Chains A and B, each alone.
Chain A
Amino acid sequence: DTGVSQNPRHKITKRGQNVTFRCDPISEHNRLYWYRQTLGQGPEFLTYFQNEAQLEKSRLLSDRFSAERPKGSFSTLEIQRTEQGDSAMYLCASNLPHRNTEAFFGQGTRLTVV
């Protein structure tokens, strides 16, 4: 499978716990995005990387959220001290760095905080 891969697909956690998600982009895509989507809304931008550099973070992104892409390949998104409001689908997408190139999404990780 050469598409964008995300793991796990589902995660249920207790409030206050930390969670980490992984995204493996399409191999030749050096730009990687994280989005969050709640029911009835479109995907909301969180952050993006070009290679290993994190170039932009949403101002809406709490300091409980951190993302890394240490070798410019896979990326991880960690949420510390989870809250019920963090329950959402977390989507990863990748594309080539040219300005006008479409992005391809992974299947997402659905987080439920109980």
Chain B
Amino acid sequence: QKEVEQNSGPLSVPEGAIASLNCTYSDRGSQSFFWYRQYSGKSPELIMFIYSNGDKEDGRFTAQLNKASQYVSLLIRDSQPSDSATYLCAVIPGNQFYFGTGTSLTVIP
């Protein structure tokens, strides 16, 4: 079983809609959870992190964490074409980051 699982997509949403990205993880001892955005051919860019159960909002982005269900999600409100990218979920169960394979998001103008 992989440490971090994501639906690879592709996920397509119309401009202005809410995009919902999901991630599950296997290690119950994981304490820190991250969402990275990666444009094609570029390196990952940190957009959100969350440590506690519940929601964390930052601009158009909301991260949601449910440790009991081992589930973390990212909501992007008012999606823009510039949000089209691959979104990587990352977890730290020990001393290193484990990444999912990423979900490809396309925002259609």
Contact = CB atoms under 8 A, between A and B. Distances in A.
Interface of A: 33, 35, 40-45, 48, 55-56, 89, 91, 93, 99-108
Contacts of B99: 35, 42-44
B31 A104 contact: no
Nearest to A93: B97
B96 A45 contact: yes
A65 to B, nearest CB: 16
Nearest to A6: B43
B32 A105 contact: no
Nearest to B33: A100
Contacts of B97: 33, 35, 43, 45, 93, 103
A43 B95 CA distance: 15
B46 A104 contact: yes
B43 A106 contact: yes
Contact of B96 (A33, A40, A91, A100): A33
B101 A43 contact: no
B64 to A, nearest CB: 17
B49 interface: yes
B44 A105 contact: yes
A100 B51 contact: yes
Contacts of A33: 96-97
Contact of B102 (A35, A42, A44, A55): A42
A48 B4 CA distance: 19
Contacts of B31: 99-100
Given A103-B46, A105-B45, A42 B34 contact: no
Greatest chain B CB density within 10 A among A33, A40, A103 is at: A103
B98 A91 contact: no
Which 8 pairs between the two chains have the least Cβ-Cβ distance?
A: A42-B99, A100-B32, A105-B43, A108-B43, A43-B99, A45-B96, A42-B101, A102-B49
B88 A55 contact: no
